[in-house]
């Protein structure tokens, strides 16, 4: 159960101090307001962690701002604390003054009295606005002059909040005003099974791309059609039967995962969250390695520490060959959850769990399926890439936001379960092959991307062949050139590579447009219309090329595999089109290894 697994993650991270205790939340703090014992504002100190204009700290819980005015205890925007900014800020400043004075009125703590005096004063707006500069919306906290810690960190204040946060009346919305009536009920929690105080709202997650700016919820009922057993959308707690504790734990765990880049990657508009039940660095790194190969340097060694890169390559090689590698407990469970924003709600695309032993076996199969010779380097193989890289190649202009929403989850599930990749992934890769050479997904610039597309085409065909028990196709799709592969598409791809090479040999590499630029799309779909013309053109190139004799023999060798009676086929099926590009790419790689032989011959 997803909520139950998130609650266990919360308990695990609470021990290490990575998530807040009940009634608290993890927020970005931009200001520290220093006040004296009389409530005078002495200074406003901007906060920074060195790379961001804020620091992360645990503060009294911030729930969602849905409707009406709402303020928070001892941590709110500088504009609300000072009564500057918009009309709403001024209105919420008055609410904050009243709420703090009521909540802290019976406390004898010096800091509590100082805060009450602060809110009892009328602050000069102009100096206050100038002190906050251009960021009055950043969150601020209080510090009593002479204290080392902050006001909300004092033991007396923490005790008051932990024991009486339900009495905080910092909202004017009807929903918040009726919170007490709902909280007086008891439900059997659907997560823990215990009789507990019910949750009124599941904690909202802020900052989720493409979701509502006020936050998105994993569990919500905003329409009667989503309810059952006579309940309505206003019966929040009764519909989900979830305790306040379980909702807080699951929501805090989700916020932690969403905020930590070591626990998620972005795929289009979807976000893939991952964690383990041990949270050891080595176990988590195995999952991150699969999801972020491109990011950790395995694919690009130029800017990385060589020792680290060697370790990464060793781990990849071990997983690929089905071998164990140091420090990994194969029985440790992993969790992968793919969520997609949908205005005010998060949709769970899929949730997958299993052991790291199973994960590494699936990962190893994936690495073997995408293994491919490198056509740009002699006697080399392509560095493994993450599934994200290949998915991004299905998007126009290489933009992650253009990735089809329905493509991400099925592709990830197929990898994790060892199933066949979705047909739509293969079809869209073929489409992009015919449409353009490729785009860099990071900067949007045109680039050569065939090496980012062909490996996944091969993986798709291999998995379909296994599913259909087609041993002939499975054996024929090799890592490097397979001259025994008689598939029509594969042979024609090889022929096209040979014709392109003889053109480059004759005219040099500074050609405005090669035959690939002009004809590869039509050659891979309707070869009978293109290849006769290309073969005639090749005769002129052979006579001019330095290694024309070798090129002519290579073309003749490939042509011998084409049925002379049938000739060039009128069309190629989608399966044969994929083989066409694989044959083209592998034949180009093979020409690297034959360079020395060509020089000897001539």
Query: DSSP of 327-346, one letter per residue?
Result: T--TT-EEEEEEEEEEBTEE
Query: CA neighbours within 13 Å on the CB side: how many for 444?
Result: 4
Q: What mean pLDDT do residues 486-505 have?
A: 91
43 and 165, same structural domain?
yes
Residue identified by tokens 């190629």 is 572
Pairwise pLDDT comparison (315 vs 2), residue with the higher score:
2
Pairwise pLDDT comparison (216 vs 353), residue with the higher score:
353
Residue 1 placed within a domain? no
Res. 181: pLDDT tops 50:
no
E runs forming strands in 96-147: 139-144
312 and 198, same structural domain?
no
Q: What mean pLDDT do residues 127-151 have?
A: 83
Residue 460 placed within a domain? yes
pLDDT the model gives residue 51: 84
Average pLDDT in the chain: 83
Instruction: Give me the phi and psi of 42, to 5 degrees please.
Output: -85, -45
Residue 223 placed within a domain? yes
pLDDT the model gives residue 238: 61
240 and 128, same structural domain?
no
Q: How far apart are CA 10 and CA 256, in angstroms?
A: 9
452 and 595, same structural domain?
yes
The residues, ordered by sequence, that sit 6+ positions from 563 with a Cβ below 8 Å of its Cβ are: none
Domain-terminating residue out of 312, 344, 365: 365
Q: What mean pLDDT do residues 236-262 have?
A: 83
pLDDT the model gives residue 230: 64
Six-digit token string for 412: 């990830």
**Confidence grade of residue 303 (pLDDT, cut at 50, 70, 90):** very low
Six-digit token string for 597: 């032989």
pLDDT digits 0-9 by tens, 185-197: 787 888 888 888 8
Q: Would the CA dihedral through 360, 364, 369, 370 be positive or negative?
A: positive
233 and 91, same structural domain?
no
Domain membership of residue 277 as a residue range: 272-365
Res. 430: pLDDT tops 70:
yes
pLDDT the model gives residue 601: 47
421 and 447, same structural domain?
yes
Residue 6 placed within a domain? no
**Confidence grade of residue 505 (pLDDT, cut at 50, 70, 90):** confident
Res. 351: pLDDT tops 80:
yes
Q: In the 3-class helix/strand/coil scheme, how is 45-70 assigned residue by residue?
A: EECCCCCCCCEEEEEECCCCCCCCCE
- Decide: 110 and 138 in contact? Cβ < 8 Å: no
Res. 297: pLDDT tops 70:
no
pLDDT the model gives residue 173: 65
- Please write down the long-range contacts of 232-236, taking CB distance under 8 Å and 24 or more positions apart: 236/182, 236/199, 236/200, 236/201
Residue 266 placed within a domain? no
**Confidence grade of residue 304 (pLDDT, cut at 50, 70, 90):** very low
Residue 7 placed within a domain? no
Q: How far apart are CA 576 and CA 570, in angstroms?
A: 12
Q: What mean pLDDT do residues 213-240 have?
A: 67
536 and 479, same structural domain?
yes
Residue 432 placed within a domain? yes
Q: What mean pLDDT do residues 469-488 have?
A: 93
Q: Which one-letter DSSP state was computed for residue 422?
A: P
414 and 302, same structural domain?
no
Pairwise pLDDT comparison (72 vs 597), residue with the higher score:
72
**Confidence grade of residue 143 (pLDDT, cut at 50, 70, 90):** very high
- The DSSP element (H or E) to which 554 belongs, if any, is helix 548-559
Res. 298: pLDDT tops 60:
no
499 and 359, same structural domain?
no
Q: Which one-letter DSSP state was computed for residue 491?
A: H
The residues, ordered by sequence, that sit 6+ positions from 499 with a Cβ below 8 Å of its Cβ are: 515, 534, 535, 537, 538, 555
pLDDT the model gives residue 572: 94
Give the SS3 label for residue 76.
Answer: strand
Q: What mean pLDDT do residues 134-148 have?
A: 89
337 and 355, same structural domain?
yes
Residue 372 placed within a domain? no
Six-digit token string for 194: 């215990």
Pairwise pLDDT comparison (323 vs 134), residue with the higher score:
323
Q: What mean pLDDT do residues 11-17 have?
A: 88
284 and 359, same structural domain?
yes
Domain-terminating residue out of 365, 390, 408: 365
Domain count, the chain: 4
Cα separations in angstroms, 82 against 23, 91, 113, 118, 430: 25, 11, 18, 10, 59
Domain-terminating residue out of 365, 392, 413: 365
- Decide: 253 and 9 in contact? Cβ < 8 Å: yes
Q: How far apart are CA 386 and CA 260, in angstroms?
A: 19
Res. 579: pLDDT tops 70:
yes
Q: Which one-letter DSSP state was computed for residue 20?
A: P
Q: What mean pLDDT do residues 62-73 have?
A: 82
540 and 472, same structural domain?
yes
């Amino acid at each position: 159960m997803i909520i139950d697994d998130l609650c266990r993650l919360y308990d695990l991270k609470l021990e290490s101090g990575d998530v807040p205790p009940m009634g608290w939340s993890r927020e970005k703090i931009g200001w520290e307001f220093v006040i004296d014992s009389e409530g005078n504002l002495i200074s406003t100190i901007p906060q920074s962690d060195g790379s961001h204009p804020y620091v992360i700290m645990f503060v009294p819980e911030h729930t969602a701002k849905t409707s009406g005015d709402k303020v928070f205890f001892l941590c709110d925007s500088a504009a609300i604390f000072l009564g500057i900014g918009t009309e709403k800020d001024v209105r919420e400043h008055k609410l904050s003054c009243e709420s703090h004075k009521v909540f802290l009125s019976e406390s004898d703590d010096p800091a509590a009295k100082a805060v009450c005096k602060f809110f009892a004063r009328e602050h000069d707006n102009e100096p206050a606005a100038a002190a906050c500069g251009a960021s009055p919306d950043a969150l601020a906290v209080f510090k009593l002059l002479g204290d080392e810690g902050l006001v909300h960190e004092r033991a007396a204040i923490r005790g008051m909040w932990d024991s009486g946060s339900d009495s905080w009346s910092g909202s004017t919305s009807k929903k918040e005003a009726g919170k007490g009536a709902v909280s007086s009920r008891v439900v059997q929690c659907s997560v823990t099974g215990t009789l507990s105080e019910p949750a009124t709202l599941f904690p909202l997650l802020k900052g989720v791309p493409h979701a509502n700016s006020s936050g998105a919820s994993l569990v919500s009922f905003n329409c009667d059609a989503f309810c059952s057993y006579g309940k309505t959308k206003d019966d929040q707690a009764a519909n989900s039967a979830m305790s306040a504790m379980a909702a807080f734990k699951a929501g805090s765990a989700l916020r932690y995962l969403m905020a930590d880049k070591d626990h998620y990657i972005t795929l289009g508009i979807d976000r893939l969250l991952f964690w383990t039940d041990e949270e050891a660095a080595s176990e988590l790194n195995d999952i991150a390695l699969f999801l972020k190969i491109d990011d950790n340097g395995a694919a690009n060694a130029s800017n990385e520490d060589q020792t680290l890169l060697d370790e990464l390559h060793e781990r990849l090689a071990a997983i690929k060959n089905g071998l164990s590698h140091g420090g990994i407990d194969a029985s440790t469970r992993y969790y992968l959850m793919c969520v997609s924003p949908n205005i005010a709600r998060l949709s769970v695309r899929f949730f997958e769990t299993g052991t790291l032993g199973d994960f590494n076996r699936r990962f190893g199969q994936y690495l073997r399926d995408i293994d491919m010779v490198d056509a740009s380097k002699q006697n080399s193989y392509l560095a493994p890439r993450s599934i994200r890289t290949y998915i991004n190649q299905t998007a126009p202009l290489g933009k992650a936001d253009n990735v089809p929403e329905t493509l991400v989850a099925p592709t990830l599930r197929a990898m994790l379960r060892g199933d066949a990749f979705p047909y739509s992934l293969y079809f869209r890769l073929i489409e992009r092959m015919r449409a353009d050479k490729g785009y860099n997904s990071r900067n949007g610039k045109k680039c050569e991307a065939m090496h980012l597309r062909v490996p996944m085409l091969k993986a798709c065909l291999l998995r379909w062949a296994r599913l259909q028990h087609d041993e002939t196709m499975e054996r024929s799709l090799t890592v490097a050139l397979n001259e025994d592969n008689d598939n029509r598409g594969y042979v024609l791809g090889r022929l096209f590579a040979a014709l392109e090479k003889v053109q480059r040999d004759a005219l040099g590499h500074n050609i405005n447009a090669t035959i690939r630029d002009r004809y590869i799309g039509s050659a891979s779909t309707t070869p009978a219309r293109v290849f006769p013309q290309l073969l005639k053109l090749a005769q002129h190139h052979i006579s001019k090329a330095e290694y024309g004799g070798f090129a002519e023999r290579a073309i003749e060798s490939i042509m011998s595999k084409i049925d002379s009676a049938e000739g060039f086929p009128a069309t190629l099926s989608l399966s044969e089109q994929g083989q066409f590009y694989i044959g083209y790419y592998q034949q180009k790689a093979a020409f690297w290894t034959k360079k020395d032989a060509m020089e000897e011959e001539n």
